[in-house]
Amino acid sequence: MRSYSLIAPAKINLYLEILGDRPDGFHALVMVMQSVDLADRLEVRANGTEAIRVHCDHPQVPLDDSNLAYRAAELMRQQFPQAFARFGGVDIAIYKQIPIGAGLAGGSSNAAAVLVGLDLLWELGLTQSELQELGAVLGSDVPFSIVGGTALATGRGEKIDPLPDLEQGYVVLGKHRSLAVSTPWAYKTYRQQFSPSYLPQTDQQQRLHQVHSGPMIGAIAHRDLPQISQLLHNDLEKVVLPQYPQVRQLRETFREAGALGTMMSGSGPTVFALAEAWEQAKAVCQQVEQSLADPDLELWVAKFKPCGIQVAES
């Protein structure tokens, strides 16, 4: 049976600003996303049946239609019934490295890998834009996960504009194994507390242009990691850090360990720290590990990655 092996990288948010409400009930966002080489691997294999079957080496990952990877395959079956009739069902094996429930888009990246894998397996010849349109049906982070690299994400996060790649940066990621933060809770709480400051929809486009021509995008254009580190911003920290003291403490410990900059990624609970060299990142990682001495804390050192889903070399 034919198969493809794909690499599905995690992402961090270097910038996340909530502009206000959208007519569809989502938040209007402007974000700068960055892929990192902490990645899952997926095998997408024709199985000779009409079934979609998901397998995973992590016991907490669901294997039914609540799994985005499953839903990605189901979407492709619905959108391309002739290809499904010709090639049949698939087995999707997920080998996890990205922590679950971490705010690192692990589920979205898995779904993106399934879209890319089935495009190849079923010989559809879809363009990247077409794959991103399909991804947007599944979730706001899926379109970015397909293309990856460094990008500006707007709308509800599904509109992607590539930025100059930041290939030289390193990142230390930290997450408490037992801690999870609900993304819907974070956005709902932010709306409850800060909606009086939301921009009217007529002003949101102007603010988007200001960010696009602002200091963060300029620092990325110049690949100035120290300046980028000083400009890290995440509106959701305003609600998550007061509610989750472990996240706040981890962020402070990264800062004290000498990181260039540190911030919570997405809705958390993962916190990241930036470094210009592997040695610096490793030193920060070791100091945080020693300072907190918490067996529940997991730490990783990763490198910025200039792309999203890739076919793995055989």
Q: Which structure tokens are listed for 156?
A: 């509800």
Residue 11 is a catalytic residue: yes
Is 156 or 237 the better-scoring residue by pLDDT? 237
* CATH 1.10.260.40 describes domain 3-166+307-311: no
> From the candidates 40, 119, 141, 235, which is the catalytic residue?
141
Asked if omega into 164 is within 30° of 0 (cis), the reply is: no
Q: Over the stretch 53-69, which tens digit does the pLDDT of each residue have?
A: 999 998 888 888 889 99
**Strand ranges in the chain using DSSP code E only, listed in sequence order:** 3-21, 27-46, 52-56, 90-95, 150-154, 159-162, 170-176, 233-234, 261-264, 271-275, 297-303, 310-311
Q: Over the stretch 170-222, which tens digit does the pLDDT of each residue have?
A: 999 999 999 999 999 999 999 999 999 999 988 999 998 898 889 999 999 99
Regarding pTM above 0.75, the answer is: yes
Q: Over the stretch 264-308, which tens digit does the pLDDT of each residue have?
A: 999 999 999 999 999 999 999 999 999 999 999 999 999 999 999
Rounded to an integer, the average pLDDT of 64-86 is 95
Matching fold, domains 3-166+307-311 and 170-303: no
Q: Over the stretch 122-132, which tens digit does the pLDDT of each residue have?
A: 999 999 999 99
d(CA 114, CA 16): 27
Contact (CB, 8 A) for 71 and 114: no
> From the candidates 11, 96, 175, 305, which is the catalytic residue?
11
The residues spanned by each domain of the chain are: 3-166+307-311, 170-303
pLDDT at 12 over 70: yes
Residue 141 is a catalytic residue: yes
* CATH 3.40.30.10 describes domain 170-303: no
pLDDT at 1 over 80: no
